[in-house]
């Protein structure tokens, strides 16, 4: 399973959520074995890469959104987030985006 997860991670380096899921499944199975530390390191590495990519993308989208909102284009500001990559999304990132939208868009804004 570990070799398959490593192979998947190598072929699909941007599919963070799937890679994390694979390593987590393995982590439970190897707990207490010699491979436990190696799997933990791999999991931590991909989680760090995911968080780094997530922060960068949120920052990029936030800048675009704020520029459009300042220009009075609330709908375009909202639309910036429509193409946010699914492979980066988490429950926490969705909450963060929601907060950013609430701060940037005019009160009572309703997307079309």
pLDDT, average across residues 19-47:
94
Confidence of residue 60 (pLDDT cuts 50, 70, 90): very high
Helix runs in the chain, H state only: 2-11, 16-30, 36-70, 74-79, 91-104
The span from the CA of 52 to the CA of 106, in Å, is 30
- Other C-beta atoms closer than 10 Å to the C-beta of 39 total 23
Q: What are phi and psi of 85, to 5 degrees?
A: -60, 130
Q: In the block, which residue shows the tokens 């009075």?
A: 72
Residue 93 has a pLDDT of 95
- In what helix (H) or strand (E) does residue 35 lie, and over which residues does it extend? none
């Amino acid at each position: 399973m570990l070799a398959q997860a490593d192979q998947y991670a190598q072929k699909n380096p941007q599919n963070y959520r799937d890679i994390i899921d694979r390593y987590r499944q393995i982590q439970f199975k190897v707990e207490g074995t010699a491979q436990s530390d190696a799997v933990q390191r791999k999991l931590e590495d991909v989680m760090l890469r995911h968080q780094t990519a997530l922060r960068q993308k949120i920052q990029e989208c936030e800048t675009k959104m704020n520029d459009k909102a300042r220009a009075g284009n609330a709908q375009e500001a909202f639309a910036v987030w429509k193409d946010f990559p699914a492979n980066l999304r988490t429950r926490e990132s969705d909450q963060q985006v929601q907060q950013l939208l609430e701060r940037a868009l005019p009160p009572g804004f309703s997307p079309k």
